[in-house]
Amino acid sequence: MRIELCWPLTLFAPAKLNLGLEVIGRRPDGYHEVVTILQTVSLFDRIELTPSAGLEYQPPPGIADDLVARALDELSRRGIEIAARIRLDKQIPIAAGLGGGSSDAGTLLGALAIAGVPRALIDEIASGLGSDVPFFVRGGTALATGRGTELEPLPTSSGWFVVVVPRLHLPDKTRRLYQALEPGDFSDGSATRAQAERLRQGLPLDPELVRNPFIRALEAYPEVRQAAEALREAGAHWIWPTGAGPALFAVTGDFSSARDVARLVPPVTRAFVCTTVSGRINDERVRRFVHIRG
């Protein structure tokens, strides 16, 4: 199977927030059992594809484990030939809990599924790349359970957030923070499931139902404490990590409130104003620009 482009194509790969994340306990396979709501938001990496005789891709500098390169390798191994020059423009901060690498791979795989690559093959590759990658194949809003790959799509409600990214680098971050969890950090998932039920009913996000057990371990780092304090001083009330952090997000009522909070955050901390983004944002352009042979 050969994927060809009719014209240049830009895919938008959105960041995600965890609108509630509860860890139930450790699974027999070594992963942790989680209940979380994943939500794509309007902070994007861009994947730029231009027609080419064959596949050309060079991973951006500074990425130790490039999931796009791994996805392309898996596609090639299964006989999927992509005739395109691919360039990845990174805007989502790396290793911050915002899912940028997973989104890049999932967005590309999702575009190929829309173009006609068998969905079962796409889902198999996505699952093998990482827990968040299957979610990004479709994006939008989903309740994720198990190790984060069992997905139930949910309605996307409107919402505005301020995301701040402390200037903190934690090598092997996810493993370290999961290891730092204590018995009191575990819960039964009921708050996040209640939030999911609100979304099913078309109700807005309830900030009081948001949970994330990593906040305790993250607050041991002064950079995280300072970022949280900056948000509070700017007027934010509901502040949580996304994923295992260290990025934090504040729930706000509307764009104006989010903008005002972001303007008051000191420039030493990166701040982004984001809104919720529904799934399949690239589908229409993919259908018009991509052609499959074989």
**Across 117-257, where does the E strand assignment appear?**
141-145, 150-154, 160-165, 238-241, 248-252
Dihedral over alpha carbons 137, 139, 281, 124 (to 10 degrees): 10
288 CB-contact burial (10 Å; exposed 0-12 / middle 13-18 / buried 19+): exposed
What's the chain's length in residues?
Answer: 294
Give the separation between CA 166 and CA 183, rounded to whole angstroms. 27
Give the separation between CA 108 and CA 45, rounded to whole angstroms. 11
Instruction: Tell me the Ramachandran region of residue 178: left when phi exceeds 0, alpha when psi lies from -120 to 50, beta otherwise.
Output: alpha
Distance of CA 274 to the CA centre of its chain: 13
Question: What is the CB-side half-sphere exposure of residue 107 using CA atoms within 13 A?
Answer: 26
Question: What is the CB-side half-sphere exposure of residue 39 using CA atoms within 13 A?
Answer: 29
Per-residue tokens: 3: 């994927």
Question: Of residues 16, 66, 104, 173, which has the active-site annotation?
Answer: 16
Positions at the binding site? 93-103
173 as an active site residue: the answer is no
Closest-CA residue to 21 (of 253, 187, 232, 174): 187
Positions at the binding site for ATP? 93-103
The arrangement of strands across the sheet holding 238-241 comes to 238-241, 248-252, 160-165, 270-275
184: DSSP letter: G
Q: How many C-beta atoms lie closer than 10 Å to residue 292's C-beta?
A: 13
SS3 call for 290? strand
Active-site annotation, residues: 16, 132
